[in-house]
Structure formats: structure tokens, C-alpha cells
Amino acid sequence: MVFEIKKLNIVITGGTSGIGYELVKKLYETNQIIVIAHNTDKLEALKEKFPNIHIYNADLSKLQDIESVADILLKKYESIDLLINNAGIQHTPTFLDDDFYYQTISREITLNFTAVCSLCYLLLPSLLHKRPAAIVNINSGLALVPKKTSAIYCATKGAMNIFSQSLRYQLEDTNIQVMQAIMPLVNTPMTLGRGKGKISAEKAAERIIYGIEHGIQDHDIGKVKLLRILMRIAPGLAQRIMKRS
């Protein structure tokens, strides 16, 4: 199903930097953009650059903030047409490293996965309407095959993959499409100093928008397409490659 991204109410989490920022830039002119992020200074700077956007401060690693911002959006916007769950964090130390902190486990799970599930549910009343609507979860190739570091991050992305497919089944008879964009390594503040062969955040945003417009349910972007093929023909090799990534 073709999904026209024009004159829509669009909610983007983590829209102040990286992929989220590029999505704001590309969708701003023809839509009403609603950004949820936790850094007040960055939100205000975004508002200065894009005066007509709506900004909401919330720490999506805290359930109370998730519930509060969802309640505000439900009261303010009768309909939401597109929810893009983009916000995420990644901690790279292994459980054996001296700089691994136990406290990061719950925060990473809540922000990367619980917040996604919660917003999908809490904003459902505004997404259910007569016009086509969509939920788009920004995922990672690590949802398909994990690496050695960032075990919690990999687990949350794997969970998001299954959640997106199951939610799609639940909503298949409604006006809401459920999609996910499965990203390769993207050049963002989160990946600073890590990895090679990254695609730009701008290119990532372009491909995400293309996938939404063309209704691609599980959109493998860039090298993820190769990873998917490798998983079919040589799963052991795919695991060895991704383990070291």
C-alpha cells in the first residue's frame, strides 16, 4: 500500500540528532512534526531552526515520562498519522568489562524497547481513525544477528523485530500499517568512533522515508540486504562476521 507523507501529524522520538534530526528536516515542510526528546537545549535549538514543529521533553527511559507525554499528545492531537519510534541508546561494554555499569541495563531496555511498546499502545486511540496511519520502528541489523559487545542493545533490537511483526498481525484489520526499517551502521553521535563503511544519517532518513511511502513492512537498508542473504546461505559465516562487528 502506498503511503503519502503529506499533511500528516507525525510523531518522531529522538528527533534532535542523527537519523531523527534528518527525518525532521526532510518531513518538516509538508507535515506537522511532533518531536519527543530528553535534551531541553537540543529541543529548543531544533525549535529555533524549525519554528513550526511541536517539541516535548521526555526521558523515554522512564515509564512515568512515557505515560505523561503520551497523555499530553492524546489530549492535544485528535489524530496522529505516523509514529516513528527512532530514539535509542547503545552501551558497548561487555559484562566482563570494568566500565560496565549494572544500572544501564534497565535504562537501555526501557528506552530501546519498553518505550516503543508503550507508545504504540498509549497513542493507539489517536492512530485509529479513518485515514491510513503507520507505526514505523527504526531497527538494526543487530536484530537479526548479534555482535559480541552491546548485548542488551542487540537483545532489545531482536525483541523489536518480533514485536513489530506481532503487532502487525494485531492491527492488520485496522487503518494502521506496522513497518520497521532495519538499518546498517549509520554515522550518528551514537556510533561515533565505531565501525567503518557507515552510511550517512541523511541517506538513512531518505531510505526510511522511501520505505514508508512504498509500504515496505520489513525494510532492509544498505548492507542489511546482504546480511539477510548471508543468513540464508551461510548462517555460521554471518554469525562470525557480526560477532566481530
* Residues classed as catalytic: 153
Q: Are 213 and 4 in contact (CB under 8 A)?
A: yes
CA distance 235 to 145: 9
Q: Which three cell numbers stand for residue 89?
A: 541508546
Distances (CA, A) of 123 to 56, 118, 165: 15, 8, 18
CA distance 68 to 158: 27
Q: What are the φ/ψ torsions at residue 9 (nearest 5 degrees)?
A: -90, 115
**Cα Rg for the chain, rounded, in angstroms?**
17
